[in-house]
Each structure stands twice: as C-alpha cells, then as structure tokens.
Structure 1
Amino acid sequence: MERLPYIDEHAVATGASRDAVWSALTYVLRDTMTGALWFARLLDTDPARATSTFEGRPGETLPGFRVVDAEPGHRLTLQGRHRFSRYRLTFFLDEDRLRAQSHATFPGPHGKLYRAAVIGSGGHRMLTRRMLRQIDKRARDTDREGS
C-alpha cells in the first residue's frame, strides 16, 4: 500500500453491533459515493465507476475509491486518485466507536489549491463527520428493528 501523509481522523461513538455498523458503512458509502458520480467525473477519478453490488470486498469500487483492504466488522480501506490528489480513507470499527482516518497527497500547484479548498476550508471534516453520523444512525436503526 502506498505511503501517504496523514490528514486527520474523526470518530463517532456507536452503540450498535459490529454487523449493523459494517452493513450501514457499506450502505452509506455506496449511497453517498454513487450519488457523487458527477463530481467523480469532473475530477477524473480512478476508479471512475462503482461495482454493481458494493459490499466492501477487496477490489470492489465506488466512484473515486477502490477497496484495497477489508476485514468485515473491523476495518475497511479505500484508496483512489484524481487529477489533484492521491488518497486513502480507512474505517476502523472498535468496540464502541467507528473511526475514519484520512491520508492524502496533493502534488503540484493545482494540488495545493485543491487541498486548501477541501481540507483547509473544513469541508472534508464536515463531510466525514456527517458520513459517520449517518452510518451510526443507520446501524442503530438496524439494531432496533432487529430486536
């Protein structure tokens, strides 16, 4: 796996089961990333398309991301690139929380501008935290429905 500089880590406490969190994670990723296909095309991402059924298995794709490592119920690592950046997003499922850790590089002058727009503006932080909250809510709802 390519070494990329650390960007940040965000976490959400979750009272849901690991199975529910994993299921919610793959669902929210599929829903969120597939909905952003227009943005992936604009940035010329690799990969460009999603696997028809995304379950978080190595080699499966979402627009802008490929699963490079997965241990269901414990860890999911996505990696990708586009014209301004190479990046990795890893989700860790601990006993009582879900963490999202980001690594990326932004080469060249356009990459520096992109980093300022995405990371420096706080946009990445807001989107990552929102995604974690969505995953947690879906996982808790799934656990309640299953009870």
Structure 2
Amino acid sequence: MTDLPFVDERHVRIAAPAETVWAVLGRQAQRIAAGGAAWYAPLVGAQPRHASGQPLTQGATLPGFAVVESVPGRRLLLHGRHHFSRYALHLTLAEDAGHTRLTARTDAAFPGVHGWCYRQLVIGSGAHAVLLDRLLRTIRRHAEHQST
C-alpha cells in the first residue's frame, strides 16, 4: 500500500450504509481537526499543520494529515509526517448485507532514536490502538444512530 512499514489494522462493523458512514467520517474529521489535533500538530511539528479544503476531498488537509486519495463511500488515504514519524492512514469502507465494514490501516516509519522512543510511547503503550478503536466506535455509534 505504501513504502512505509505496516503498524496495525483495526475494523468495525456498522449497521448503516457506506454513504452514511462516509458522512459521519467527514464530521468526525472536522471535530478532530478543531479539537485535539489542532494543539498536538504544532507540538510535534506535524505537516500539514492546519486544516484546509473540504474534509475528505483529495487535496484537503487536517492537522497532521493530507488527503492523498478520496473515493467517497469507498476509501480514503491520508499521509502525514512530524519530527518523529512518517505515516499513512488508509480507511476503507465495504458494504455487505446492510452493514459497512470500516477498516483503518496504519503504516508508519519511526526513524532514529527519537522515532524509536516515540514509537514505544505511542504504539508500544497501546495508545494508538485505544484512540483508533475509540474513533471507530464513535463513527459506528453516530452512523447507526443516523441510520435509524
């Protein structure tokens, strides 16, 4: 998928159509960009640093992420970097029998000693998995609520 090493893959099954999940994903991206990501991005020297453009559209940015590829309702590819890492987040949506499977795959490189330390702090501690799982559950909750 990228030239970056695989880190992990998380998924959630959502009782809502992909179109609804995609819309909720866009709203969550806006919330994240306006919240924690806005203060964290400058702290670690993230590029891009600010949100721009329409969320989830190719060429748009969120703090720490650039939208490299966007196929509405199907997939989203985000790339970013900061002082300690280069990374990609691949989000894919697959419909099956009235449900949508939302998958989030993370690939990242953590160069140098500082990168290794950062990896231990974020990946080794389990914080990345906890935060990504929370995001996926939030998207599921909002999409299922909107779908009923």
Report the TM range for the smaller structure's normalisation: over 0.9
TM-score after normalising by structure 2: 0.93
Query: 1:19: how far off?
Result: 0.9
Superimposed CA distance per residue, residues 98-145 of structure 1 (whole angstroms, 9 cap, x where no aligned partner): 01000000000000000000000000000000000011111111112x
Superposition RMSD in Å:
1.2
Where do 4+ consecutive residues of structure 1 move more than 2 Å?
A: none
- Aligned with 1:79: secondary structure? strand
Within the candidate set 130, 136, 140, 1:132 is matched to 136
Alignment of 1:38-77 (within 5 A): 38-51=39-52, 53-54=54-55, 56-77=56-77
Rate the CA distance shift 1:92–1:2 in 2: closer, same or farther, 3 A: closer
Unpaired segments of 5 or more residues in structure 1? Answer: none
- Aligned with 1:94: secondary structure? strand
Superimposed CA distance per residue, residues 69-100 of structure 1 (whole angstroms, 9 cap, x where no aligned partner): 11100000111000000000011101131010
Rate the CA distance shift 1:120–1:139 in 2: closer, same or farther, 3 A: same
Query: Which residue in 2 is equivalent to 1:142?
Result: 146
Report if aligned partners of 2:53, 2:59 keep a CA contact under 8 Å in 1: no
> Counterpart of 1:70 in structure 2: which amino acid?
S
Report if aligned partners of 2:12, 2:102 keep a CA contact under 8 Å in 1: yes
Q: Which moved more, 1:115-124 or 1:34-43?
A: 34-43
Report if aligned partners of 2:2, 2:107 keep a CA contact under 8 Å in 1: no
Alignment of 1:1-147 (within 5 A): 2-36=2-36, 37-51=38-52, 53-54=54-55, 56-95=56-95, 96-144=100-148
> Counterpart of 2:41 in structure 1: which amino acid?
A
Percent identity between the two aligned chains: 43
Unpaired segments of 5 or more residues in structure 2? Answer: none
> Counterpart of 2:61 in structure 1: which amino acid?
T
Rate the CA distance shift 1:22–1:111 in 2: closer, same or farther, 3 A: same
Query: 1:32: how far off?
Result: 1.6
